[in-house]
A and B are shown apart, each in its own frame.
Chain A
Amino acid sequence: MSIEATGLCKVYGKTRAVDDVTLCLSDSVQVLALIGPSGGGKSTFLRLLGGLEVPTSGEVRVDGKLLPTKEEDLMKYRSGNGFLFQSFNLFPHLTALENIVLPLVQVHGWEKPKALDRAKSVVARFHLTDHIDKRPCQLSGGQQQRIALARAMAHEPALLLLDEPTSALDPEMKAGVLDLIEELCQSGQRIVLSTHEMGFAKRSADQVVFLSEGKLIEEGSAESFFESPETDEVGGFLSKVMKW
């Protein structure tokens, strides 16, 4: 995917969540990892990319197309992507299966039987078939996040955006979700994720962007980023988080 950001800013009150980020990623990047300290602007950058927020100034192009700013156009753009949140955000009044089927039918206009088939096949791939009739409150965190992932990718999104997908999970559940994400990476799915899982980023991402205090500090291939960081800030950050 090609991503071009020019002078991108997002300001909330006095906070500059994303502060003048300029970035150009070539088409060869399939998996992009956003890394950096908490509150550094990863989530906001991801939401700008996903069309959930509109920039205060500057612009973003994805695959050469300028992201819209009008709500109607944004709605269409968002429906073409998939978004996964740290806190799952499943709909608690619907079963796992209904959570996946609802957007397929209502947003993408699929016939109900086709949507059901698709949802069931995704759920089978994610080893969740036994849980399709349960409501989110009856599922573990890891299961909820896997259902949320199924919902985000069932319509074969152009771009899958994952916002710290494993931060709310215990280590074992984390592994299960990361396995699935890696599988998606390998199947060619284009992914942008913000994460604190350095091991995963190193292993699965092609490109890494480091954001701190809203600013782009460093950007490069995953290999060079982890092996030989250019700035002291990234070096310091990595040595701290990789220590344990």
Chain B
Amino acid sequence: MKYFVSITVSIFLGAIFCLIFRVLLIHEYNWAAIAPYRFNLFSGWLVTLGISAAALVLSVFIGALLTAGQLSPHRLPGWLSRAFVELIRGTPLLTQILIGYYLIADAVGWDSRFGVGLVVLSCFSGAYLSEIFRGGVESIPQSQWLASRAIGFSGWQTYRFVVIPQAIRRVLPASAGQFANLIKDSSLLFVISVHEFTMQARETNANTYATFEAYLPLILGYFILTFPISLLSRHLEKRFSYEH
């Protein structure tokens, strides 16, 4: 039994890797076909990097706002935040992008594909982040709240000096994972023709019919962005586990 699982996993994953390598090796590459499009691909990668970085900042802001709403002692912001989070989490990102651009942005007369893409992506990621943040705040033991009250801290001071600094440490690993998701999710913005990485690869493919050569750079390009975050997330998890 001890070896059974190891052997099964090795055979199964080994077979998948073999298949991938076979497909990749058997192909006759024609890199010259996509060479004229290399700057398009690179600019697409930069757009992905830019929109992800901007959405990261905006989504943290939105996530914090939604968390504050959900933890608010007042009912109205609580309900509104809860409804927003459930709506976002219960519908596909692709749908949100389409509705956001063709219905909502159109209705208010906003015609920036990049802008709308950024806002929709940030709202989507922000909703998930708010759940992570809320979990972080709620994981701070009651004894810390009690001690803060005993010292004479106000509610705001308790958050500012006791709860938030501790919660940030706890939510960093999960948030890093969400940031990696954000980068990958930005690839869906091609549906509203944001000229990001995936969109450029699709266009390159359409123009050259060099499918392999057009799409393979995507793997490398996205991995370069997400792998450091994955490493950072693991590092943070380790550091956090030492503290307790």
Chain A contact residues, CB within 8 Å of chain B: 50, 52, 75-76, 78-80, 83, 85, 87, 89-93, 102-103, 106-107, 137, 151
Contact of B143 among A80, A85, A137 (CB under 8 A): A85
Is B151 within 8 A of A103, CB to CB?
yes
Report the minimum CB–CB distance from A122 to chain B (whole Å). 15
User: A93-B165, A93-B169, A106-B157 are known contacts. Are A87 and B149 too (CB-CB below 8 A)?
Assistant: no
Q: Say whether B143 contacts A75, CB under 8 Å.
A: no
Tell whether, in the assembled complex, residue A91 and residue B146 are in contact, meaning their CB atoms are under 8 Å apart. Answer: no
Judging by beta carbons under 8 Å apart, are B146 and A89 in contact?
Answer: yes
What's the least CB distance linking B152 to chain A, in Å?
3
Contact status A102-B150, CB under 8 Å: no
Give chain B nearest CB distance to A42 CB in angstroms.
16
**Could you give 22 example pairs across A and B, Cβ below 8 Å?**
A52-B146, A52-B150, A75-B149, A75-B153, A78-B151, A79-B151, A83-B147, A83-B150, A83-B151, A85-B150, A87-B143, A89-B144, A89-B147, A89-B150, A90-B147, A91-B147, A91-B161, A102-B161, A103-B153, A106-B153, A106-B161, A137-B244
Bound complex: CA A137 to CA B162 (Å): 16
| Given contacts A102-B161, A137-B243, A137-B244, A91 and B144 within 8 Å (CB-CB) | yes
Given contacts A89-B144, A91-B162, contact A50 B169 (CB under 8 A): no
Query: Which B residues form the contact surface with A (CB < 8 A)?
Result: 143-144, 146-147, 149-154, 157, 161-162, 165-166, 169, 243-244
- Complex CA–CA separation, A151 to B157 (angstroms): 17
Taking a contact as CB atoms under 8 Å apart, the answer to whether B152 and A76 are in contact is: yes
Closest CB in chain A relative to B61 CB, distance in Å: 23
The interface residues of chain A lying within 8 Å CB-to-CB of B150 are 50, 52, 78, 83, 85, 89
Name the residue in A92, A102, A137 with the highest tally of chain B Cβ atoms < 10 Å from its Cβ.
A92
Compute how far the CA of A115 lies from the CA of B147 in the bound complex, rounded to whole angstroms: 19
On whether A75 and B152 interact (CB within 8 A), knowing A89-B144, A91-B144, A91-B147, the answer reads yes
**Chain B residue at minimal CB-CB distance from A102:** B161
Q: Please list the 3 inter-chain residue pairs (A to B) with the smallest Cβ-Cβ separation, ordered nearest first.
A: A79-B152, A89-B147, A83-B150
- In the bound complex, residues from chain B placing their C-beta under 8 Å from that of A106 are 153, 157, 161
Starting from the known contacts A80-B152, A93-B166, A107-B151, 11 additional A-B residue pairs (CB-CB under 8 Å) come to A52-B146, A76-B152, A78-B149, A79-B152, A85-B143, A89-B150, A91-B144, A91-B166, A103-B152, A103-B153, A107-B152
Write the nearest CB–CB distance from A139 to chain B, whole angstroms.
14
CB < 8 Å: which of A80, A83, A107, A151 contacts B153? A107
Least CB separation from B169: chain A residue:
A93
A102 to B165, CA, bound (A): 14
CA distance A9 to B34 in the complex (A): 81
Report if A78-B146 is in contact (Cβ < 8 Å); known contacts: A106-B157, A106-B161.
no
Q: Could you say which residues of chain A place their CB within 8 Å of the CB of B146?
A: 52, 85, 89
Given A87-B143, A89-B146, do A78 and B162 touch, yes or no (CB 8 Å)?
no
